[in-house]
A and B are shown apart, each in its own frame.
Chain A
Amino acid sequence: DIQMTQSPSTLSASVGDRVTITCRASQSINRWLAWYQQKPGKAPNLLIYKASSLESGVPSRFSGSGSGTEFTLTISSLQPDDFATYYCQQYNDYSRTFGQGTKVEIK
């Protein structure tokens, strides 16, 4: 199985901060990576697919980059609505695996 490791596990930031979350794969997944945002008690919401493609309706302050084994999700200017947990997910092989999540908290 391909293992996905996110860092950090928790991130404290303020409104307006630039925030970066890293996701590393245990083997190359090309660009087959998605990012999701999840708020408490809600289902995850797709933000980014194919490493850097922004899902329709997602604010442009979210961006993704990377290929191979290392990927990043960047929020250019953190907004109050962005405090949530973020997950990466690989879809390079038939077993979809998620990272363990990164919780973005208010500093």
Chain B
Amino acid sequence: QVQLQESGPGLVKPSQTLSLTCTVSGGSISSGNYYWSWIRQPAGKGLEWIGRIYASGSTNYNPSLKRRFTISVDTSKNQFSLKLSSVTAADTAVYYCAREGAGEYNWYFDLWGRGTLVTVSS
């Protein structure tokens, strides 16, 4: 079955750029039936949707977040990635990648990675 796995550094210094990758296994990221999203969760707090990408490279971002996020896709590697620039301690969180339906109003998350903890600290 399809699985998602996040990878990336667990510790990032303030003002640097955070880079995370989500590897899709057991299925193709180019299947056309799904969007691929990033969601984060600070310790003890709720979930915040960051944005999503389609296999074509088309993206949507949470309009409530400042434009420090960039999501990209590498279909040859069956991966999609998240970059967050100028990180601060407020960006410390567990970052999840998730699959979202691509059909109209199927925009819920039916598959999640295990999550990766990113700590911003000097």
Contacts and interface: CB of A to CB of B under 8 A. Distances in A.
Contacts of A87: 46-47
18 contacts: A1-B63, A43-B112, A43-B113, A44-B47, A44-B96, A45-B112, A49-B108, A89-B47, A91-B108, A95-B63, A95-B64, A96-B37, A96-B49, A96-B62, A96-B107, A98-B49, A99-B46, A101-B47
Interface of A: 1, 32, 34, 36, 42-46, 49-50, 55, 87, 89, 91, 94-101
Interface of B: 37, 46-49, 60, 62-64, 96, 98, 100, 105-110, 112-115
A98 B46 contact: yes
Nearest to B111: A46
Contact of A43 (B62, B100, B106, B114): B114
B112 A101 contact: no
A49 to B, nearest CB: 5
B60 to A, nearest CB: 6
A17 to B, nearest CB: 24
